[in-house]
Structure 1
């Protein structure tokens, strides 16, 4: 008997999974019945199951192996390509479930033409068998393949059909369809602002169906698509949530390389190139070979950008191989972005213009999916500036209008009609001195203080430290003149190193400190309403100070001081909102407070009390559980028992 031959110890000891997953996916009846009778494994029990299938294939028991692989697929198990490759084609085509799985593998390998063939066969067979859920999942895969091949008309036809079916669905929506619409909805005019909602719906559906791998994949896709557009706090919360999902389902090792890609892409968002390279070098557990070819190439591009923008040697020859992947439109985008990056680094105006035009041509033939679009737009802006700013750059940008400087959430300079995001420095110490002066009152500091804090010496002890300071001052003048059009941007006079006050009239950190100081004074004098207005304005300015990869003792002290300021503001803002019974506002402030100081018990108390007053008592208990775990793990104590009594009675 077939089922008896499959009832090995590996299968009998596997934990049951949620049967509805197989039913909703529209799996063949024989698979659903087998799952119902025997149960299948969770992700933690997959290895022995796959080994058992391997033995069936080795002994040429193909029918049994196909049946078992269909059952595994119903459980959301990742069926290895090497197992599918062992099945004769004439037998493989009889199983639409495995045709779909093989088409997914081929898509990940970049073999799109062959993948389309298998996906079409799966669509046709599922339709003939009346398995609507599986039919829709294969249609979603087919739409993805069409889009990557540049067959946009075909992709649009399939996506429109899926969108209509999804709206009319009587028994709930399809996670696979929602994921495809989230990623490709822009092709049929769906609002991009709704993409995040579709990603979240897909994640929830996969979780309800007991499909942790698909849920984590959808969560990865959401974060990758939004790496340049999502609010930083929301994105970071999403990454933490993905890590929890992976740890809870035993999939952490399988997703290591995808987590590395996410972290590197996020580092590139704020131009933290040194940190990006640290991440890439420290990938102890991440095997980049586990990435599909497109995501592996994207990671290569990020590393290439980081090396070129930090003045390091970069292997630019490997990107030429991407041109051979021309069947995939996304690879053409990546190739063009890489060539434009290389041209910018080489200051080759002719090639810069050529590759900028290539990206414009690709955009005219159909927009790129995020995050390529954002990356390409950033590069094109850099190229536009490069083309306009030739050797006479400083004359072109010179003007009497001073610059506004952003230090929170990245580093940049702004004034009417102009924006500069990147300055090229020959010496890291010159960059550090420039930042140090920007963060000082009046943009100035005594020379002996500069020597002590930045050069670990006393400028009166000898000429060495003094010479180093003057070399950095000269470098600042050159860089500021070239990129900001400022002459004599820094001077050393009467023992003071000073930036030109005419060159800079606003630094966000300076404004933040002023708002905090005035707000605290008003608070102390009883002018609470006005104080809260200024504190709210200050709290909105705050963010990560300068590139996270820039490490210096003096800078860490500044970061700690500003963090303390921000915590004090959030505490007062929460007290005010909670006291005024504005519990929605109190919850928002509490979230920001926890993000700022994730090991602060008071911040958790604020969150728990806020959601409790909003009537979400179960959520309050969940937050208490997190607080309890944090106190136990970090401090070896338990939280305030009075709070527990209020929640649990």
Structure 2
């Protein structure tokens, strides 16, 4: 069997080597260290920077043993997984330098990197006029994004990457909504809009598109429910009123004066 290394960072972190998930992390920070270095794309990270990232509430000292322990434990985890002698085989190795550490990773599958690659490929295909190909890439990207990046990890560096990936998913969902509106795929439109609302509960454009779709289907009760959910969330959670565009669209929908092509592109 060919060697494989797969790393999942959407949702709960998982390191899977040769179809076996690493389940024992000998020190909690060894896993955090791996996660942090994975985001550095092989760049060397000074010891002081790593310490600040992993122990933000503690002062850095060159005499501190905490980072040394995390490094030692991570090496043990990676060593226990074994390493292939094949130079083309997937590799995950911690490298020590005079100033700090880096992570040598080769031919591994990392879900958040694959997500960004699919998104970029979709953007390039769309720019070249290949809309069906672009839509396929965008769908694959949206399906890969199972949950937010490193759910439950509350460090600043994880939060920054989490928000960046969320913004990229919103881009992807915008594209899919507009493409499926053009194709008249109403059920797909509602699916992508609901995902947008799960991601951003105050995304009025998504609520408006849902109201338009259900108006097109003659489902006025659903139009009312989405409008009430939108206005209720805005009022109760951030003390805001809906945009005039949202109110006007709702009123016209309830009068039967809308079609799907009244949609404002997201």
Structure 1 residue 485 and structure 2 residue 85: aligned? Answer: no
Q: Which digits, 9 at most, give the CA deviation of each residue in 1:551-577, with x for residues without a partner? A: 211111111111111111111110111
Structure 1 residue 408 and structure 2 residue 10: aligned? Answer: yes
Q: Which runs of 5+ in 2 are unaligned?
A: 85-91, 256-266
Q: 2-side partners of 1:642 and 1:545: how far apart?
A: 33
Which has the higher relative contact order, 1 or 2, with Cα contacts under 8 A spaced 6 or more apart? Answer: 2
Secondary structure of the corresponding residue to residue 105 of structure 2: coil
CA RMSD of aligned residues (A): 2.9
Partner of 1:636: 240
Q: Which digits, 9 at most, give the CA deviation of each residue in 1:101-130, with x for residues without a partner? A: xxxxxxxxxxxxxxxxxxxxxxxxxxxxxx
Partner of 1:419: 20
The answer to whether the 8 A contact 1:584-1:614 is kept is no
**C-alpha distance 548-462 of structure 1, shift in aligned 2 (>3 A):** closer
Q: 2-side partners of 1:575 and 1:406: how far apart?
A: 29
Q: 2-side partners of 1:449 and 1:516: how far apart?
A: 30
Secondary structure of the corresponding residue to residue 7 of structure 2: strand
Structure 1 residue 551 and structure 2 residue 151: aligned? Answer: no
Partner of 2:108: 505
Q: Which digits, 9 at most, give the CA deviation of each residue in 1:466-499, with x for residues without a partner? A: x5433321110012223x2359831122545222
Aligned structure 1 segments of 4 or more residues deviating by more than 4 angstroms = none
Secondary structure of the corresponding residue to residue 615 of structure 1: coil
Higher share in helix: 1
Task: Choose the corresponding residue for 2:117, options 493, 498, 514.
Answer: 514
Q: 2-side partners of 1:445 and 1:602: how far apart?
A: 42
Q: Which digits, 9 at most, give the CA deviation of each residue in 1:282-304, with x for residues without a partner? A: xxxxxxxxxxxxxxxxxxxxxxx
Note the 1:132-171 alignment, pairs <5 A. Answer: none
Q: Which digits, 9 at most, give the CA deviation of each residue in 1:366-403, with x for residues without a partner? A: xxxxxxxxxxxxxxxxxxxxxxxxxxxxxxxxx97241
Structure 1 residue 578 and structure 2 residue 177: aligned? Answer: no
The answer to whether the 8 A contact 1:411-1:421 is kept is no
Secondary structure of the corresponding residue to residue 242 of structure 2: coil
Secondary structure of the corresponding residue to residue 518 of structure 1: helix
Structure 1 residue 646 and structure 2 residue 252: aligned? Answer: yes
Partner of 2:258: none
The answer to whether the 8 A contact 1:601-1:627 is kept is yes
Q: 2-side partners of 1:573 and 1:628: how far apart?
A: 25
Q: Which digits, 9 at most, give the CA deviation of each residue in 1:391-424, with x for residues without a partner? A: xxxxxxxx972411122233323355x3215232
Q: 2-side partners of 1:629 and 1:545: how far apart?
A: 25
Structure 1 residue 430 and structure 2 residue 26: aligned? Answer: no
Secondary structure of the corresponding residue to residue 441 of structure 1: coil
Secondary structure of the corresponding residue to residue 598 of structure 1: coil
The answer to whether the 8 A contact 2:37-2:103 is kept is yes
Deviation at 1:531, TM superposition (A): 2.1
Note the 1:207-606 alignment, pairs <5 A. Answer: 401-416=3-18, 418-420=19-21, 422-426=23-27, 428-442=28-42, 444-447=43-46, 449-456=49-56, 463-464=62-63, 467-482=65-80, 484-486=81-83, 489-493=93-97, 495=99, 497-502=101-106, 505-545=108-148, 548-606=151-209
Question: Normalization by structure 1: what TM-score?
Answer: 0.35
The answer to whether the 8 A contact 1:621-1:647 is kept is no
**C-alpha distance 402-496 of structure 1, shift in aligned 2 (>3 A):** farther
Secondary structure of the corresponding residue to residue 619 of structure 1: helix
Q: 2-side partners of 1:439 and 1:462: how far apart?
A: 24
Secondary structure of the corresponding residue to residue 500 of structure 1: strand
